[in-house]
A and B are shown apart, each in its own frame.
Chain A
Amino acid sequence: DIRLTQSPSFLSASVGDRVTITCRASQVIYNLLAWYQQKPGIAPKLLISPSSTYQGGVPSRFSGSGSGTEFTLTISSLQPEDFATYYCQQLNSYPITFGQGTRLEI
């Protein structure tokens, strides 16, 4: 199975900050990585898809980059509604796997 490791696991930030979360894969997954946001008690929400093919009304302050084994999610200017847990997910091979999550707190 492909192992995804996110860093950091916890992140404390303020409204208006720029934050970056990293996801490293245990083997090459090309660009086949997605990012999700999850708030307590609510299903995850797709933020970023490979090649940015998902156009689900996600604010432009969210952006993703990377390929191979290292990927980043950047939030350019944190808003109050962005405080949540973020997960990366690889779509390259079965079983589909997730990172352990990054909890973003005020």
Chain B
Amino acid sequence: QVQLQESGPGLVKPSETLSLTCTVSTDSIRDYYWTWFRQPADKRLEWVGRVYPTGETNYNSSLESRVTLSLDMSRNHFSLKLTSVTAADTAVYYCGGGRQFVGTEFWGQGTLVTVSA
């Protein structure tokens, strides 16, 4: 069973960069695509973007100008960077993994990121 663990600061100042890492428990990082989601309090899930083992990425167009996903196979982790954050970026951020057209089979436990001065 693949396990995921998010890590990163829980508090980010407005206009700064939010950076999170998701560590994958096994070498399965080569076998799946990897996704970031977020969920503001009491709201629906939002897909942030996806990174493939090839390094190819897809981003939510609403965030595309501010988001970068990357993958480091040697460290079994993938990362999210979101620049110029505002209070609207406050949310629980989840990392996930899965196969094309199957859905997200593996999830991290989620990490709350608050944007505040």
Contact = CB atoms under 8 A, between A and B. Distances in A.
Contact of B44 (A50, A53, A87, A95): A87
Interface string B70-107: 00000000000000000000000010101101111101
Chain A interface main SS type: loop
Size category of the binding interface on chain A: 20 to 34
Chain B interface main SS type: strand
Contact of B94 (A43, A98, A99): A43
Contacts of B107: 43-45
A57 to B, nearest CB: 10
Interface in A41-77: 42-46, 49-50, 53-54, 56
B44 A44 contact: no
A95 B47 contact: yes
Nearest to B105: A46
A22 interface: no
Given A50-B103, A91-B103, A98-B45, 16 more contacts: A32-B101, A43-B94, A43-B109, A46-B102, A46-B104, A53-B102, A54-B103, A56-B105, A87-B44, A89-B45, A89-B103, A91-B102, A95-B47, A95-B60, A98-B46, A99-B44
Interface of A: 1, 32, 34, 36, 42-46, 49-50, 53-54, 56, 87, 89, 91, 94-101
Interface of B: 35, 44-47, 50, 58-62, 94, 96, 98-99, 101-105, 107-110
5 tightest Cβ-Cβ pairs between the two chains A and B: A34-B103, A43-B107, A96-B47, A95-B60, A98-B45
